[in-house]
Chains A and B, each alone.
Chain A
Amino acid sequence: MNNELIHLSHISKSFDDKVILDDLDLVIHENEFVTLLGPSGCGKTTTLRIIAGFETPDRGSVIFDGKDITQLPPNKRQLNTVFQNYALFTHMNVADNIAFGLRIRKQSKSYIEDKIAYALKLVGLEGYEKRSVSRLSGGQQQRVAIARAIVNEPRVLLLDEPLGALDLKLRQDMQYELIRMKNELSITFIYVTHDQQEALTMSDKIVVMNQGYIQQMGTPEEIYNEPENAFVADFIGDSNLFPAVFLRDGLISVDGAEFPCVDKGFGEGRAVDIVIRPEDVELVEAGEGTVTGEVTDLIFKGVYYEMCVDVAGREWVAHSTRPCPVGDKVGIRVDPFNIQVMNKPASEDEEAVPTNE
């Protein structure tokens, strides 16, 4: 239904012999909320800067609405950026910051005034025109930065970890605000973050990146429920990530215990990885589950309890609203539908790397 707007075609980029992006290919459609998600150094910010025009790729091209804009300077591109640290002009007041782009385009005075009022209303800062930006709080500065970008009516808004500096509550509020703004403006948002929760909440499409490669692309549900490799499974949310053997279609074995699954066609006897989300691990009476283990840890997490269960030396993590005391013997059962079977990584780049994010 939506047209292709941006096509990053076979983009490669290195800094000082360090490969940041390697043959990246990405298509972004009109009116889409796309999130580039990954740990620091995965190339997500570089990708955004290439789209904005602040970096030129070593190889490959950037196609915007059918035209090659690889060599076009940033000031000639029909997109605007919201920077991580806002990058407001501190010697100007709020209105002058917002009017910056409009004045360059030589818009009329009344047009600029209307636009400032409209943008401030959109971001919820009516009446702040004459304030000095350095007197505003972090959240308010963020809103001014967004207003400054959107008054120029860009086809695409690029956001580089815009909520990174805000506290949790404000961050959650701003997530909803951003979704609302996107729907009101109906333009394309390209959003960079390392926060998987943020990505799952806001995106139409998530692009999971690691070490310069796209690991998986899909809707939040696809990324969460059907991770294609161990890196994605590990990076998106808590997970039980185990090596397993694919016995035959619909049956796998973990540490010798057989679990039915729904996946097919991995090849009999092949080594695979499986992922089971903690909320999909059902704890039942000892002896009633597929395997039996002992509860070694019980942590209250607010909405649920997190329990660690030791099954023959392997630790399973389970989330449940009912706590099981430490030391109890419990059975574990998993719905076949909730076991996601994945190929072992073909190269080192796809391996799960520990992240501290």
Chain B
Amino acid sequence: MRNHVRFKGIKKLYIALIFIFMYAPIAMLIVQSFNKSKSRGHWGGFTLSWYRSLFTNADIGQAFVNTILLALLSSVIAVVLGTMACICMSRMRKTPRTVMTGITNIPMLNADIVTGVSFMLLFLTLRIQFGFGTILLAHITFNIPYVILSVMPRYRELNPHIYEAALDLGASPVYAFFKTVLPEIMPSILSGGLMAFTMSIDDFIITHFTAGAGVHTLSTKIYSEVKLGIKPEMYALSAMIFLSVLVLLTLVQRGSNMLGVGGKED
């Protein structure tokens, strides 16, 4: 009995340690974003001025617009391409399908730096002007696997006769797809899209290698600012990015939970 109690104590301590290691840096960041003093070692009192100056900075405003635009465009395009890929892949025979699934999974596991440098080389070789377009292409590419990962299982478990039933009732193939198949897999598409959106906002390395001069997203902006010296505004910005990603991930989780319940009902 005593042993059990002691063991429980150790378990709690262990969990506490893990959380401290994981979140202490972020907690530090958030605390510093409210620190009036520019010196990191010294607490100069609470202030919101870093947040205030953040919102009045035009460069950061532009970077914010770029980030959101990239995330929106790349996730929407990735959703369309990824869903189409799922439909084609699930019609394949088993062996090619397994190979294709493996191939689409590799970019997710590949080191971002490798993906980033490869994109840079590719764009250089093809003489494509670096800028918003190249970042977008790169983001679409690394987002597609997340969409496939989310949509594929749902599409595979979809009753194939649903599409045939719609045809049988007189629907054209296009009408049948949009009226019956698409609504059935919509939850997984939304959750995949949200995941892709988050990944796009989150990305630094690949963006860094494909952006070229002049175009910034929030993450590359923070990097270049912090390189030059201490900028507490960047702490504030990082804290806000952390919070928004947290919110997005919670939404994705909620979405896929609801998906799970829907699946049980069938």
Contacts and interface: CB of A to CB of B under 8 A. Distances in A.
Partners in one complex: yes
Contacts, number: 66
B154 to A, nearest CB: 12
B168 A52 contact: yes
B169 A83 contact: no
B170 A75 contact: yes
Contacts of A74: 164, 167-168
Nearest to A54: B164
A119 B115 CA distance: 58
Interface string B168-209: 111111011001100110000000000000000000000000
B180 A73 contact: no
A75 B171 contact: yes
B161 interface: yes
A53 B167 CA distance: 10
Interface residues of B, number: 21
Nearest to A76: B170
Given A83-B165, A87-B159, A87-B161, A104 B170 contact: yes
B166 interface: yes
Majority-rule SS of B interface residues? helix
Contacts of B165: 81, 83, 87-89, 148
B29 to A, nearest CB: 43
Interface string A85-104: 10111110000000011001
B266 interface: yes
Given A75-B167, A104-B169, A91 B183 contact: yes
A100 B171 CA distance: 9
Contacts of A104: 169-171, 175
Contacts of B180: 89
Q: Which of A76, A85, A89, A105 has the most CB of B within 10 A?
A: A89
B162 interface: yes
Contacts of A100: 166, 169, 171, 179
A40 interface: no
A251 to B, nearest CB: 54
A148 B179 CA distance: 16
Contacts of B184: 89-91
A240 interface: no
Contact of A80 (B161, B168, B171): B168
A134 B162 CA distance: 14
B180 to A, nearest CB: 5
Contact of B161 (A85, A134, A148): A85
Interface of A: 52-54, 73-76, 80-81, 83-85, 87-91, 100-101, 104-105, 134, 148-149, 152
8 contacts: A74-B168, A75-B173, A81-B164, A85-B161, A90-B184, A100-B166, A101-B170, A149-B169
Given A54-B164, A75-B169, A89-B180, 9 more contacts: A75-B176, A81-B164, A83-B164, A87-B161, A87-B162, A89-B179, A100-B169, A104-B171, A152-B170
